[in-house]
Amino acid sequence: MTHTVESPLQLRRLHDTATEEYRFTEQLLTAAFPPEEYRDFEELRVLTQDDPRFRNHAILDRGELVGVLSYWDFGRFHYVEHFAVCPGMRNRGYGRKVLGMLRSRLHTPVVLEVERPDSELAARRIAFYRRNGFTLWESDYVQPPYRPGGDAVPMRLMVCGALCEADDFASVKETIHCEVYGCPPATRG
């Protein structure tokens, strides 16, 4: 008889927004990101429950909530909207392990937004993603506002997988801006 050992680290997809795990994800988003970098929670609840392209996960280690990961499946690539580990759980290898799990599960390139390397913290984040197989695209990119009247945020895209900045930047940006942020063409940055 063969025994499989299940990893103690799990990505648990959320569908029900009335659970403790879901409430944890909203709390962590507000702790880990400034308000201009996450969507209205009512909209997040609708996406979590109803949009099959959007996947919202609680990250658990031996049943303990340690982080959140949400991403979109656009067929040609996956876009990570949010990835955060609880402040008290950082520097324990969770980020590396979760990105490894994500790459092994998804069979298309993975794209995410990062702050421009204008601060030490932003540069450290970029270095973390580089160590985990991502490439920084240098093209100007702006995260559109999540809310009407909100602020756009200067960012960069990072990619893991077979996408080329010269060939794919415009279409990747267009997909993210249209599908994630719902921006009409005149407001895209």
- pLDDT by residue (tens digit) across 91-130? 999 999 999 999 999 999 999 999 999 999 999 999 999 9
pTM of the model: 0.92
Read off the CATH number of the domain in which 98 is found. Answer: 3.40.630.30
- Do residues 72 and 179 lie in contact, with contact meaning Cβ atoms separated by under 8 Å? yes
Domain assignment present for 96: yes
Domain that holds residue 62: 9-182
Domain assignment present for 127: yes
Domain assignment present for 119: yes
How many domains are contained in the chain? Answer: 1
Reported as a single tens digit per residue, the pLDDT across 33-92 is 999 999 999 999 999 999 999 999 999 999 999 999 999 999 999 999 999 999 999 999
* DSSP letter, residue 17: T
- Cβ neighbours for 118, distance < 8 A, ≥ 6 positions apart: none
Domain assignment present for 3: no
Query: For residue 187, what pLDDT is reported?
Result: 44
Residue 128 has which token pair?
């973390």
- Do residues 150 and 128 lie in contact, with contact meaning Cβ atoms separated by under 8 Å? no
- The amino acid occupying position 7 is S
